[in-house]
Amino acid sequence: MHRVVITGVTAAEAMQYRDQLLQAGLIMHQDFEWSYHPPLWDGFTQEQPRRVMFAFCNPALATFYQLKWA
C-alpha cells in the first residue's frame, strides 16, 4: 500500500477527500483505504496534528492524488 497523508484537516474535510475518490470511480477497500486521526495530546503540547491517511493499492494513484492535494 502506498500512503498519502494530509495534515491539519477536519473530519468533514477528510470525508470530502474520500468523496472525491469515490466520485472518480475508485472503490473503497479495493483501490484505497482511508482513516481519519484526531489530534493526539500529551497534556501539555500537541504531539500530532489531526490528519487523514489514504492508502492506495496503485502507486500511480497515490502519486497523482498526493500532487493534486498538495
Domain boundary assignment for the chain: 2-69
CA pair distance 43, 36, nearest whole angstrom: 21
CA pair distance 65, 70, nearest whole angstrom: 8
Q: What is the mean pLDDT of each run of 10 residues along the chain (70 residues)?
A: 93 96 96 93 77 96 94
CA pair distance 66, 70, nearest whole angstrom: 6
- Fill in the amino acid letter for 52: V
Predicted local confidence at residue 46, as pLDDT: 63
CA pair distance 58, 23, nearest whole angstrom: 17
The domain 2-69 having CATH identifier 3.10.450: the answer here is no
Sort strands 2-7 and 51-56 into parallel, antiparallel or unpaired. Answer: antiparallel
